[in-house]
Chain A
Amino acid sequence: MILMTLAACDNGGEGSRKQGYAAVEELKSERIGVLLGSTHDRYAASHFPQAQIFQYKSPSDMVVAVKSGKVDAAIYSSAELEELMRQQQDIGIIGKSLYSTMLAMAFHKGDDELRTSFNRFLASIKQNGVYDDMSTRWTKTGNHEMPVIPESKPATGTLVVGMVHDMGFPFITVQNNRLVGFNVEMLDRFGVFVGRKIEYVSLDFGSLIAALESRKIDMIGSVISITPERAKSVDFSDPYYEEQAKVFALKKNIAGAIPETDKKSDGNILTRFLSGTAESFQSNIIQENRWRLIVRGLWVTVVISFLSTLFGTVLGGAVCFLRMSNNVFFRSFARAYISVMRGTPVLVVLMLIFYVVFASVNIDPVVVAVFAFGMNFAAYAAEIYRAGIEGIDRGQREAGIAMGFSRTETFRHIIIPQTVMRILPVYKGEFISLVKMTSIVGYIAVQDLTKASDIIRSRTFDAFFPIIMVAVLYYFISWTLLLFIGYLEKTINPRFKRRTVPQQA
Chain B
Amino acid sequence: MITVEHLSKSFGDFSVLRDISVDIKQGEVISIIGPSGSGKSTFLRCINLLDRPSGGKIRIKGIDMLDRHTDVAKVRQKMNMVFQSFNLFAHLSVIDNLTLAPMKLLGKSRQEAERKAHELLRLIGLGEKYYCFPDELSGGQKQRVAIARCLAMEPEIILFDEPTSALDPTMVSEVLSVIRRLAKEGLTMLIVTHEMDFARDVSTRVFYLDEGAIYEQGTPGEIFGNPGREKTKAFIRRQQSLYQRLFSADFDLYSLNAEVESFCSRHLVPLKSRHGLTLLIEEVLQLYGTSSSFFPIDITVNYSEKTGQLELLLESPPGSANPLELQGEDSALGLAIIRNLLLDREFTHSDNRNILKLYLKNP
Contacts and interface: CB of A to CB of B under 8 A. Distances in A.
Interface of A: 392-393, 395-396, 398-406, 409, 413-414, 417-418, 421, 494-495, 498-501
B85 interface: yes
B80 A398 contact: no
B229 interface: no
A398 B91 contact: no
Contact of A414 (B48, B50, B89): B89
A398 B83 CA distance: 9
A114 B133 CA distance: 73
Please classify the interface of chain A as helix (H, G, I), strand (E, B), loop, or mixed, using the class held by over half of its residues: helix
Contact of A404 (B83, B91, B96, B101): B101
Contact of B104 (A393, A399, A405): A405
A495 B92 CA distance: 8
B131 A501 contact: yes
Given A421-B91, A494-B93, A404 B131 contact: no
15 contacts: A399-B88, A402-B81, A402-B83, A403-B101, A404-B73, A404-B77, A404-B101, A405-B73, A406-B73, A409-B104, A418-B89, A418-B91, A494-B96, A495-B133, A498-B131
A393 B81 CA distance: 17
Nearest to A422: B91
Contact of B100 (A398, A413, A421): A413
Contacts of A392: 90
Interface of B: 48, 50, 73-78, 80-81, 83, 85-93, 96, 100-101, 104-105, 128, 130-131, 133, 146, 149-150, 153, 159
A403 B80 contact: yes
B91 A401 contact: no
Contacts of A413: 100, 104
B269 to A, nearest CB: 38
B260 to A, nearest CB: 43
Given A403-B80, A403-B105, A500-B131, A418 B73 contact: no
B142 to A, nearest CB: 12
B93 A396 contact: no
A403 B131 contact: no
A404 B100 contact: no
A429 B14 CA distance: 46
B76 A404 contact: yes
B100 A399 contact: no
Contacts of B74: 404
Nearest to B130: A501
B50 A398 contact: yes
A493 to B, nearest CB: 8
A389 B74 CA distance: 26
A494 B83 contact: no
Chain A to chain B: the 5 pairs with minimum beta-carbon distance, closest first: A404-B77, A399-B87, A395-B87, A402-B81, A404-B76
A403 B91 contact: no
Contacts of B75: 404
Nearest to B48: A402
A499 B149 CA distance: 19
Contacts of A395: 83, 85-87
Nearest to A412: B104
Contact of B153 (A393, A403, A406, A498): A403
A402 B131 contact: no
Contact of A401 (B50, B78, B89): B50
Nearest to A421: B91
Given A404-B78, A417-B91, A500-B131, 17 more contacts: A392-B90, A393-B85, A395-B85, A399-B83, A399-B89, A402-B48, A402-B80, A402-B159, A403-B76, A403-B81, A404-B75, A404-B76, A404-B153, A405-B73, A414-B89, A421-B91, A494-B92
B110 to A, nearest CB: 12
